[in-house]
A and B are shown apart, each in its own frame.
Chain A
């Protein structure tokens, strides 16, 4: 289908580049639904019993496996299909992502209908996960090429959309299930099908409006200094098969992995942590989780945009240094009963967790150029997959072990918090070791 090929989506002269970010944000807003998948856990765990889990119902843990599979497949598909994504252009890739992700939601509805957990894993986990990987890297790589003068802001916009996807996906699913629920149904089937349709529309919108710049395109109005500096980096040409053999790639892999794991230290246990540490009500704890989502969203755009001025290495040093200090401060806020400070401190930590996600593609572009930055980003995302699966397990087990050992609940998180601070120090070391990629790796 030649009309979907990369060449067919090259923007004409005079095209306004500000038409492209909505495409990237729309695609990311849809696939970001994965972060809101947890709202399906309880309803799917009583799909047969309706009012309470009945005989033959899935457990919440079983349902949660679909989410883990999706995140693993996100990383694997981004790594595996990265070169195809670069070659095919964003239009074809966003449509492929739409087919996989929305098809996965529809298959999940069928899985609930016939009550087959393996179909749920196949639909939401495997197929949906592939859609996530494809849909994640293509918009980011496209925006990096459109904004060579502001790559941090560009990646921040796209990845902010992913954070926004959780804010939309969770309440949308709740509203839909409430609307469709009846004495004989939890409403999940209809909700999943409606979401598949809505997201397909939005992703089709993204695919239709997305454009790539011509090879000789330069942004009008960008300052000469910023353009010269940025295009120096952007013009580097390090292919993905070479990039992943460089120490810089693996140092950034560690940087992302440690940053994500540390963020999950708060996110993964936010609700029980604030209830144990400050004795707040479950409703207030849910409010805290909602507030953290807003910090996560804002941090993705704010910190990444700031990185255009501080440099990528500088901003990661700030994430790691400030993050370490703030993690060490959290137990102090509990000891002094200062809930407001606790919320502020953890909110800033989560904003930097989000910032870490959105700044990494710009960091890759600085080191390897924009030539195959999407494919390189795809391989780096495996760090996120690993952290997202291993991190929560680690945190849950440590906290549970501390409570089982008789540590008071309010203090049972301190070890985890100190461990997260240690991970951030390790991330800082990895970041400080990053040097420009040696010329021998560049294509002529």
Chain B
């Protein structure tokens, strides 16, 4: 293959693709961006005063972070795939008073409250019709701590309808009335049955496992000020029924509601994001505040004063439903990341109607704290609790190899038929 990649012909093909992108997408985006440029620069982009490195906070606080990892093919037995998931919760304390900044709380304390860390889940399903959905529902039900499906679904509707639906009796005369029977069983909340591929199933369990960990944390006595998740606070909707197409969407809103109730700032950070023109916004920030500045940029939605930005007008899920995304950078060496907040919390705690100055002031306080927790030299610019959670849960190639060996070992211990755990293609060295 290398002989092809290194040819002039390959370069020509690439040139054609880039020209194509440039002609179609970039030109359109440039046009749209031009409309947003002044607004971004003047009113959405800002910097903030960072905490001194030797600051002593009057009230030190805890920050929790949750991350998950896994594989959808721990072992393949004909059409059965065994999934392995690991979810980790890390809690750090700002500890400015003891000068031992952001040190994780004792593992014993954490495990007493939340159970073993990282937490391991296993799932399997076969190719038999309906099995994926049945087993997925079973697994989700066993993982998520809130077992009452009606209570699970309600927070979404409550937030989505701005409080119009506050209980099941409020569904009458709404577009959801006809779907109420579906909202009583977890299995019937899985409305993307046709798309239940292994990666989709895996992703759904992974999210559920993370949200389950979040729920457990919020219900515990740990009482963090922040709870950080990895990714985005996106809820994927069923296009016809207008509610989440998978149970994890409801779970996310359940967690958001619980976080608000417990006074915890819930946010989700994504290094990998698809915010268009992020590099141009970063360039603007450099130009406006200097190369070493730490900055954030609000990405408003249609419902905000002045409406949403033109650059993501036609991009689904930006901003995500019921969430407020920001672009931010705390390190000159890294590309900007995205952080999402629960919109309901944001409206209650950050946004001050009719007072953009007060809103901005709240944002600055928020980002100063987020930046303070993102100064670990190992992952400078990225929140350290999330990085620690990631380190704790990640399943390396070597871990997976060993897990596969353990699988074979256990089967042999049980006297079951000997089956290799490596992918089938490994037999041919492919």
Do A and B come from the same complex?
no
